[in-house]
Amino acid sequence: MSVLQAIGLGKQYNGTAALSDLHLSVDKGEIFCLLGQNGAGKTTTINLFLGFTEASSGKAAINGVEVKPNDLRTKQFIAYIPEVVQLYGNLDGIENLDFFSRLAGTRYSTEALAALLEKAGLPATAHRKRLGTYSKGMRQKVGIAIALAKQADVILMDEPTSGLDPKATVEFTQLCKELAAEGKTIFMATHDIFNAVNVGTRIGIMKQGRLVHTVDTNNITANELQQLYLETI
Ligand SMILES: Nc1ncnc2c1ncn2[C@@H]1O[C@H](COP(=O)(O)OP(=O)(O)OP(=O)(O)O)[C@@H](O)[C@H]1O
């Protein structure tokens, strides 16, 4: 079943195309990774699915519902994890998760909040430490816990592995695969070709606002993908 859909989706800024005629369908349980040079249109695509910006042409839909900036219906289905997850530095992990899940309209017991952080890979020893002391990888895990607390069907991520050390990247990859196996749909923009092959089920390569290639990761090695990427951009 198609969870994320773009039909002729396009966006122009001041008459210049940031995204042109995107046709894409991402199914439940897929991990779709979008590659492309700086300015290729990856974040614009994510922003259109989030309803952060209005499409200039075509449409984006989530679970069959068209995304519109002021319509909350599609927002309930999605969670967004930006490159740098913004959290309250003076609150601890549990308090941050509690605050953001209340904002999203859900309430959990302290035990349930701890279980969500644990599921996101944050060890119990960190739960009561102030966010100001967390590493980037730990902040990202809180971001994932917030997405889990929201019970979002779709998790959109921008550059999720940028700045993560190799161990944190492997943990992140493993977690994404577990979430996808549970039926979450993950859509990420990334520059990390190697990780995209490891984590993704499908990969799209964008150039100047156009999706030029879509490949199944079962059919390509990291070296082949790197070659295709370099030939494309
Ligand atoms: N708010 C905006 N106003 C004007 N132009 C914009 C705006 N947002 C993006 N653009 C332009 O749209 C194009 C696509 O940008 P986008 O941020 O989607 O690329 P990207 O692939 O995510 O790049 P990066 O890898 O650097 O994050 C670029 O030319 C960018 O300058």
pTM: 0.94
Most informative mutation of 44, 156, 161, 190 for ligand 1 (most atoms within 8 A of CB) = 44
Interacting residues of 89 by C-beta distance below 8 A, sequence separation 6+: 130, 131, 132
Q: What pLDDT score was predicted for residue 123? A: 95
Q: What pLDDT score was predicted for residue 92? A: 98
Q: First-to-last CA distance in the chain?
A: 31
Task: Name the more confident of 171 and 129.
Answer: 129
Q: Strand pairing partners for 17?
A: 12
Q: What is the mean pLDDT of the chain?
A: 95
In this prediction the ipTM stands at 0.97
How far is residue 24's CA from residue 128's CA, in Å, rounded to a whole number? Answer: 42
Task: Write out the two tokens for 12.
Answer: 């122009």
Does the Cβ of 44 fall within 6 Å of ligand 1?
Answer: yes
User: Model confidence at 83, in pLDDT bands (50, 70, 90)?
Assistant: confident
Q: What pLDDT score was predicted for residue 173? A: 93
Helix axes 110-119, 136-149, angle to 10 degrees: 120
Overall average pLDDT of the 200-216 stretch? 98
3-class SS at 55? coil
Interacting residues of 86 by C-beta distance below 8 A, sequence separation 6+: none
Q: What pLDDT score was predicted for residue 69? A: 86
Q: What is the pLDDT of residues 15-74, one digit of tens each?
A: 999 999 999 999 999 999 999 999 999 999 999 999 999 999 999 999 999 999 888 899
Supply the residue whose CA is at minimum distance from atom 29 of ligand 1.
39
3-class SS at 196? helix
Overall average pLDDT of the 131-151 stretch? 93
How far is residue 34's CA from residue 195's CA, in Å, rounded to a whole number? Answer: 12
Using a pLDDT cut of 70, give the percent of the chain over it: 100
User: Model confidence at 176, in pLDDT bands (50, 70, 90)?
Assistant: very high
Most informative mutation of 9, 13, 83, 187 for ligand 1 (most atoms within 8 A of CB) = 13
Q: Which fold has domain 2-232?
A: Rossmann fold (3.40.50)
Closest atom, ligand 1, to C-alpha of 191: 25
Supply the residue whose CA is at minimum distance from atom 8 of ligand 1.
44
Q: What pLDDT score was predicted for residue 204? A: 98
Q: What is the pLDDT of residues 96-139, one digit of tens each?
A: 999 999 998 899 999 999 999 999 999 999 999 999 999 989 99
Closest atom, ligand 1, to C-alpha of 53: 1
3-class SS at 208? coil
Using a pLDDT cut of 90, give the percent of the chain over it: 88
Most informative mutation of 33, 38, 161 for ligand 1 (most atoms within 8 A of CB) = 38
How far is residue 179's CA from residue 84's CA, in Å, rounded to a whole number? Answer: 21
CA 93 to chain centre: 21
